[in-house]
Amino acid sequence: MRFSPALETGRLLLRYKRFLADIETDSGERLTIHCPNTGSMLNCMLPGGRVWFSRSNDPKRKLPGTWEISETPQGRLACINTGRANTLVEEALRAGVIEELAGFTALKREVPYGVENSRVDFRLQYPEGDLYLEVKSVTLGYDDSPVAAFPDAVTQRGARHLRELAALARQGVRAALLYCVNLSGIVAVRPAREIDPAYTAALHEAIVAGVQVLAYGADISAEEVRLVRRLEVVDT
């Protein structure tokens, strides 16, 4: 996924009201931009740290830009725009990067499914049947550890998605969860039981039911973000 034009840079002053961030650009301009991340953004932002943002010239927009990448307190890069995750995964699927899911003949996004009125991120069609794929964007890292964690806040929605996938797997339908790790310097992902033990329990139940759990990591720069490598899923 290439940014066109390339992202602009600045310094974070403050994130507030969840969806707003005040920044100062490298040229000294002070802006309030959109923060497209509904999570806590724990450990993936630093007041005074570097930020990269896309600027919009659309006169209908209330805010002039969107926060895309953050420098973390550990000096990593995090693509904090969770809306980018599905695009990254679709690009990687179509390019054959995610080898475990290769061979599909058709791909559909945002398909209704399940008994709890959910929408799955992707439904992949194979000659032998469909696969339902949920995607989660991961940006939570701790200190110098190369192991990222998910979620960064309690997520009832995430647990619901795991229940839906587990129900499919018990019926013999292929179901998978993919952690899209938008954080540099990471080799593995684990459930953040210290933040959301209910999500961790739901993940364990989904794995027992037969849900396939995968993780892929991204290369991140001001020019592009791409999923490029398989990561381990640990402590499950």
> What's residue 30's pLDDT?
97
Nearest in space to 2 (alpha carbons), one of 68, 96, 97, 99: 68
- CA 131 to chain centroid: 20
Give the CB-side neighbour count of residue 189, counting CA atoms within 13 A: 29
Longest distance between any two alpha carbons in the chain, whole Å: 58
Do 140 and 133 contact (CB within 8 A), yes or no?
no
Which H or E element spans position 123? strand 118-126
State both tokens at 209: 């039911």
- Residue spans in the chain of domains classed CATH 3.40.1350.60: 82-233
Task: Check: CB of residue 52 under 8 Å from CB of residue 59.
Answer: no
Q: How far is CA 186 from CA 24, 47, 91, 193, in A?
A: 29, 22, 21, 19
Classify residue 162 by burial, with Cβ atoms within 10 Å: 0-12, 13-18, 19+: buried
Contact at 8 Å (CB) between 199 and 184?
A: no
Structure tokens at 204: 């364990």
CA-based end-to-end distance of the chain: 30
29/9 Cα distance (integer angstroms) = 11
As assigned by CATH, the class of the 8-79 domain is mainly beta
Q: What is the pLDDT of residue 65?
A: 95
Q: Is the dihedral of CA 6, 9, 12, 17 positive or negative?
A: negative
Mean pLDDT per block of 10 residues along the chain (236 residues) reads: 94 96 97 95 95 90 95 96 97 98 98 94 98 98 96 96 97 98 98 97 98 98 96 90
Contacts of 82 by beta carbon, 8 Å cutoff, 6+ apart: 36, 37, 38, 39, 137
**CATH number for region 82-233:** 3.40.1350.60
Q: What are phi and psi of 211, to 5 degrees?
A: -70, 130
Where in the chain is CATH 2.40.50.580?
8-79
pTM of structure: 0.95
Helix (H), strand (E) at residue 199: helix 197-209
Q: How far is CA 77 from CA 35, 135, 213, in A?
A: 16, 20, 24
Task: Residue 134: name the closest of 155, 105, 153 by CA.
Answer: 155
